Structure 1
Amino acid sequence: MNHHHFRIGLTFWLLALAIPLAASPVHTSRLARFQLVTVAEDLEHPWSLAFLPNGEQLVTERAGRLRLIRDGRLLPAPIPGVPELTVSGQGGLLDVVLHPDFERNRQLFLSYAHGNAHGLTTRVARAHFDGERLRDVAVIFEALPRSDTHRHFAGRMAFDREGYLYVAVGDRGDMARAQDLSDDAGGVHRITVNGDPAPGNPFLADTGARETFFTYGNRNIQGMTRHPDTGEIWSHEHGPRGGDEINILRAGTNYGWPEITYGIDYSGLPISLVTEKEGMAQPLHYWDPSIAPSGMAFYSSDAFPLWRGQLFVGALKMRKLVRLDIRDGRVLEQEDLLTGLGARIRDVRMGPDGALWLLTDAPRGKVYRLQPVQ
């Protein structure tokens, strides 16, 4: 062997040796083996993730910054043009979702906390993203009345197949507001991309109700996703101590908070003595004790064929990723994944690359790609 061929052979041998050393540990689920790859780190409480058609990713930081990941690298400078917002308690910059026709119109939507002399609330703005900055920012939704509490802003959003936007607003820490249809708190609003009540909304003819309401009796929704087959919008919400719920959002439905709940107050006292009441929906699934769910996605690719159609939910308090096999409205199997990671999982997204993407909620949070073993 001459020196030239020897060097090439040595190079390939070293590369082959390096691959298993560079690879992340292999995790085993009952139905799959996977690896967790760090895509980006040092994000300040990342909250939401969106995939651009060109292969880049947008990430919100609750601290008020919108960031771009390009070619697998987090760009150091935040994207300019984010609307004026307030970072306080659980509030800040929250969700980012792309317009269904983003490739043509470059529109996206941001939810965030906003404060003024009248207090704090959840807002939604529409903006045009030119690849470098946000332009033509317009506030299209604002939950009223405002209040002085710094929690339960909710803020998760999703588009349905008709192109209407669902916006979750928490009870803002004042539970009675969730049963008041004249108050925007404690429910899900369905709006057009201009912020008008969506046609066919259930309370359009009710003079005492906000016309944007789609559901009410929701405590603090932190996960929302569209079912890939049925098109229904699924959500999950935090209970108090126990009683975290998964629900399928159905027009005009009262999900019961605080009249019915499977949780108790943080003081240890009951909030409600009943878990069922006429005219109020039962959750599809609930957790007791609470896991503090956040982010959710249906797995809809072939990279993990046995996961197809299953629901994945992140957990903040319990620091894990939960896999749920749900069929005909029943949970057939529940499996806890990534319990050894020790990370508060804030968002879970189905990536166009066939991987699940996760965000961790920390002062130096990370973006992970959960992919098949290479």
Structure 2
Amino acid sequence: MMKSFFLVLVIAFTNVGISQAADNETFQVEVVTDSLSFPWSLQELPEQRAGWLVTERGGRLIHVADDGSVNAIPLQLPELFVAGQSGLFDVILAPDFVQTREFYVSYSCGSINANTTCLARAKLSLNPPYTTSEVQQIFVAQPLRKGAAHYGGRMAWLPDDTLLLTLGDGFDYREQAQNLANHLGKVVRLQRDGSAVSDGPFPTKADGFIFSYGHRNSQGIVYDAQRKTIWQHEHGPKGGDEINQLQAGKNYGWPIASYGVDYTGAMVTPYQELPGVTPPLHQWTPSLAPSDMALYAGQLFADWQGDLLVTHLAGKTLQRLRLVDGQWQVMSEHAFANGSRLRAVEVARDGAIWLATDAENGQLLKLTPKGR
């Protein structure tokens, strides 16, 4: 465990069409710990000074205490598969976690020749050292596929206590993102027990789970309570990373419409937009590989209310975006001194911004304004 402080300068710039000046903030950054192994997601516990749950892609669920100490929480996931991009992904608390102690984790399950994205529900003990109980696999995306790439795996609760889960296209199966008979390249909506909702847009397709389709590999999704909408981002191929406003039943284009090309440079599609395809509200070309997203709400950065915070793997930055005339515009880009790939971002109850770096000696970082 390591706890230290350093300053990070923000690379600020103004996009074409943005009239207001971008920020010139300098952050104080606390390294809460550098003892994580490829962390993937963060979840603040609701009790005062209870710390954070952190998932590691290798399969460990971690409790990072308020003092920065790191302890593994026993968690036996059915059929956990770890290879390549596969492993343990997101963790999210149930809306009534304080009463039920229920939480959910997404992960890859199966084998190298037959695997998919799965969802499990479990309970966390009341006090540390934490234990888990009643671990149950409640959803298995269909079909099983070969390989170890493009699982999606991010989750968000909607106001009706249904759960959105992003699902990747499996990399080698990209055409299936347009096929409503399966879950590849989709966002699905589930009841708390893992069953399909009764009011989905495609009740007779893929067991009724599909909420939206035409996605490549989505690793960021949030519900915006103030605007009453859902924001989602996804990896493009070589170029064409996107931010979308998700709506039930909509087609988001992959792979028939994209701003990106294949990694070889070959054309994926001649179309960037098509009738019947909902266009993105922001796209990154060249790709920065967006890995997570949080909606800012807090007093530490009071001018940032409602802005999106997006971490990037290839871009190795945290970007802040603002909704301007119906489009998300980059307002500032935060480059960290160690040049780490950034995997996860969350906003704490006190308004501090927490980040996880994507590394074997992964760090958990806490960002506050300089001088606070």
Same fold by TM (over 0.5)? yes
1:116 offset after TM fit, Å? Answer: 4.2
Question: Do the aligned residues in 2 keep the contact of 1:45 with 1:361 (CA within 8 Å)?
Answer: yes
How many Å separate the matches in 2 of 1:26 and 1:240? 30
Give aligned-pair identity as a percent. 40
2:194 maps to 1:199: no
How many Å separate the matches in 1 of 2:25 and 2:159? 30
Q: SS where residue 73 of structure 1 aligns?
A: coil
Question: Do the aligned residues in 2 keep the contact of 1:160 with 1:231 (CA within 8 Å)?
Answer: no
Question: Radius of gyration: which is bigger?
Answer: 1
Matching residue of 1:50:
43
Matching residue of 1:153:
151
- Does the C-alpha gap of structure 1 residues 210 and 180 become closer, same or farther in structure 2, counting only changes over 3 Å? farther
Q: SS where residue 208 of structure 2 aligns?
A: coil
Q: What does 1:32-181 align with in structure 2 at a 5 Å threshold? A: 32-54=25-47, 55-76=50-71, 78-84=72-78, 85-116=80-111, 119-131=114-126, 132-173=130-171, 174-181=173-180
Q: SS where residue 73 of structure 2 aligns?
A: coil
- Does the C-alpha gap of structure 1 residues 360 and 26 become closer, same or farther in structure 2, counting only changes over 3 Å? closer
Question: Do the aligned residues in 1 keep the contact of 2:116 with 2:151 (CA within 8 Å)?
Answer: yes
Letter in 2 for 1:24: F
Question: Do the aligned residues in 1 keep the contact of 2:282 with 2:329 (CA within 8 Å)?
Answer: no
Matching residue of 1:319:
316
2:341 maps to 1:344: yes
Structure holding more helix per residue: 1
2:237 maps to 1:240: yes
Q: 5+ residue gaps in structure 1?
A: 1-21
Q: What does 1:303-314 align with in structure 2 at a 5 Å threshold? A: 303-314=300-311
By relative contact order (CA 8 Å, sep 6+), the higher-ranking structure is: 2
How many Å separate the matches in 2 of 1:163 and 1:128? 17
Q: Deviations over 1:190-230 (max 9, x none)?
A: 001101112321111xx344400000000000111121412
Q: SS where residue 178 of structure 1 aligns?
A: helix
Q: Deviations over 1:99-136 (max 9, x none)?
A: 01101110000000111486111000000111411110
Q: Deviations over 1:156-207 (max 9, x none)?
A: 1110111110011100011111011111110100001101112321111xx3
Matching residue of 1:359:
356
| TM-score (normalised: structure 1) | 0.90
Q: SS where residue 24 of structure 1 aligns?
A: strand
Letter in 1 for 2:323: I
RMSD: 1.6
How many Å separate the matches in 2 of 1:278 and 1:249? 17
Question: Do the aligned residues in 2 keep the contact of 1:27 with 1:35 (CA within 8 Å)?
Answer: no
- Does the C-alpha gap of structure 1 residues 117 and 263 become closer, same or farther in structure 2, counting only changes over 3 Å? closer
